Amino acid sequence: MSHRHSRRHLAAGFTLVEVLVALVVVAIGLAALMLAVSGTARTSGYLRDKAIAQWIGLNRLTEVRLNTNKFGTNTDASEVTFANRTWHYDTRYFDTSFTSMKRVSVRVYAGDKKTKGGPLAEVAGYLSSSLSPPGTSNATDWTTGTSLATLGTTGSGGTSGGTVTPTPNTNTITPTPTTTPSPLQSQ
């Protein structure tokens, strides 16, 4: 009889209640994992959209800076297709305390102009009509005048002294090197 009892005890498995409890625990764990994964995917998509909107805003700000008709209307809006999606932006011009300078603000939204929602990115910059046109900065010779044109160094590693030659004068200025006493020298 005891032999039959021990064989029955060895053949016993999980009860139905134990299996159901284990399944509930696994289901709750998987549901929590799915929530975490979907939240990460949603955040990743939002950050991608925000980065693209930032690029569009910076592109628009560059277009405004390169435009020769700088101070037209106080606002303009348009749509653009970028990264296989439609985006829209509005560009606003604000006065500053300098009459020849304006603050430019570009706000970028996902979707077309009819789409509601807040901007994903806003880019700001400054625009001045008193600056020279793009590409003409090399027309001015910046080496003339009283500014220092070249700096030549001599010695080990360029730290022991040097010769400075100002333009247009031919005077030579030789700075004297300064040394700081080490803690061993001061004792």
Residues paired with 124 in a beta bridge: 105
The model's pTM is 0.55
Tokens of 114: 């009819």
Q: In this predicted model, what pLDDT tens digit does every residue of 126-153 receive, in sequence order?
A: 888 765 666 666 655 656 654 444 444 4
| Nearest partner of 110 among 48, 45, 49, judged by Cα | 49
Cβ atoms of 142 and 150 within 8 Å: the answer is no
Q: What does DSSP assign to residue 164?
A: E
CATH code linked to domain 44-130 = 3.30.1300.30
Q: In this predicted model, what pLDDT tens digit does every residue of 167-185 receive, in sequence order?
A: 454 445 555 555 555 555 5
